[in-house]
Amino acid sequence: MIARNSIQRVGFVTLTFAENLTDYKEAQRRLNSFATHVLRNLCTEWITAVERQARGAIHYHLCAVFTEDIRTGFNFEACWAAANERQTNGQTVAFRSFQRAYFQSANAALRRVWDTIRAKAPLYGFGRCETLPVRSNTQAVARYVGAYVGKEAAKRDVRDKGMRSVRYSLEERKASARFSWVDGAGKNWRLGCSVFASFVGSGEFREVLGDRWAWSWREVIGEFGRHFERACELLPAYLERSSGGFLEHDLQSACLLALRLKMEGKEKDVSNP
């Protein structure tokens, strides 16, 4: 990740839910929606590690690449001192002093990230959220993600069956053994799925929508594929409508967009017999 991007843009993000959320499917649904409507506007890629707290609540740790330099000027010494003081003695006067010091050192880009997440996170059920720049190098990132994956693996129980400990927003697949037509219906289907994924919050449709997702949503995906350019043009407005963090609202917006595309297509057919 750091090899592809400048370390100045890489940061660690912690997302905790306001409630004691223990259902990983619901937690993942909210995270997917948050990623679609918020993270994609702030970051170019990210790695997500999931962890259960001692009380069973799920929270997430992300290593993300932001669109801007969030590192320059940051007071890492004060940040480390604040974390150490809090862990040792709690939220003391000294902790508050160190905390103010590193807050004040944050550059404009990091402050924009803080402001955006602070404003948007509650819409998706998140509570305390923290974003900090990476201090050192690739090894630090590997240790950060690996530590949480290892902790989660040691604590997994029956209810965590099917839960992925780590996820990647960017999949670099050079080749596939699956056969698919380059053009025609196959191309339209792939384009339609790419638009539909924006509403679902993930490209893993089966996990979110069930085994029959392709049949159930074939008409919506088909409209997106047949009118791909127009769908992309209208997509931001419909995503904004569904920014409440609920999958039902997101899918309803997808249906409304598909219906609009279908009606516009019929109007063109009538005007151009």
- The answer to the question of residue 235 being in a domain is yes
- Please tell me the predicted confidence (pLDDT) of residue 121: 94
In this structure, are residues 109 and 74 in contact, taking their beta carbons and an 8 Å threshold? no
Q: In terms of domains, do 189 and 258 share one?
A: yes
Name the domain boundary from 168, 196, 211.
168
- The answer to the question of residue 90 being in a domain is no
Distance of alpha carbon 267 from alpha carbon 231, whole angstroms = 16
- The answer to the question of residue 207 being in a domain is yes
Distance of alpha carbon 107 from alpha carbon 86, whole angstroms = 24
- Please tell me the predicted confidence (pLDDT) of residue 173: 46
Distance of alpha carbon 18 from alpha carbon 233, whole angstroms = 35
Write out the two tokens for 28.
Answer: 């993942």
Distance of alpha carbon 137 from alpha carbon 7, whole angstroms = 7
Q: In terms of domains, do 139 and 42 share one?
A: yes
Residue type, 117: I
Phi-psi region of 218 (alpha: psi -120 to 50; beta: other; left: phi over 0): alpha
- The answer to the question of residue 208 being in a domain is yes
CB atoms within 10 A of CB 21: 18
The pLDDT averaged over each successive group of 10 residues in the chain (273 residues) is: 79 92 90 93 89 84 92 93 91 94 95 96 93 74 53 56 67 50 76 87 81 91 91 84 66 90 81 62
- What is the dihedral angle through the alpha carbons of 126, 119, 251, 65, rounded to the nearest 10 degrees? -80
Q: In terms of domains, do 132 and 65 share one?
A: yes
Q: In terms of domains, do 209 and 136 share one?
A: no
- The answer to the question of residue 99 being in a domain is no
Residue type, 108: A
Q: In terms of domains, do 50 and 158 share one?
A: yes
Write out the two tokens for 159.
Answer: 């209810």
- The answer to the question of residue 201 being in a domain is yes
Give pairs for 164-171: CB < 8 Å, separation 24+: 164/50, 165/49, 165/50, 166/47, 166/48, 166/49, 166/50, 167/47, 167/48, 167/50, 168/45, 168/46, 168/47, 168/48, 169/35, 169/39, 169/43, 169/45, 169/46, 169/47, 169/48, 170/44, 170/45
Q: In terms of domains, do 143 and 24 share one?
A: yes
- Please tell me the predicted confidence (pLDDT) of residue 73: 95
Q: In terms of domains, do 66 and 189 share one?
A: no
Q: In terms of domains, do 220 and 192 share one?
A: yes
- The answer to the question of residue 138 being in a domain is yes
* Alpha-helix residue ranges (DSSP H) falling in 14-58: 24-34, 40-42
- Predicted TM-score (pTM) of this structure: 0.57
For 13, 42, 194, 240, the CA distances from 234, given in Å and listed in that order, are 30, 20, 14, 11
Write out the two tokens for 227.
Answer: 């009118």
Containing structural domain, residue 190: 184-271
Q: In terms of domains, do 149 and 217 share one?
A: no
Q: In terms of domains, do 128 and 19 share one?
A: yes
- Please tell me the predicted confidence (pLDDT) of residue 137: 59
- The answer to the question of residue 16 being in a domain is yes
CATH number at residue 144: 3.30.70.1710
Report how many domains make up the chain: 2
Q: In terms of domains, do 137 and 241 share one?
A: no
Distance of alpha carbon 26 from alpha carbon 245, whole angstroms = 11
- What is the dihedral angle through the alpha carbons of 15, 21, 23, 29, rounded to the nearest 10 degrees? -50
Distance of alpha carbon 236 from alpha carbon 220, whole angstroms = 17
CA-based max dimension of the chain? 77
Q: In terms of domains, do 204 and 128 share one?
A: no
Residue type, 87: Q
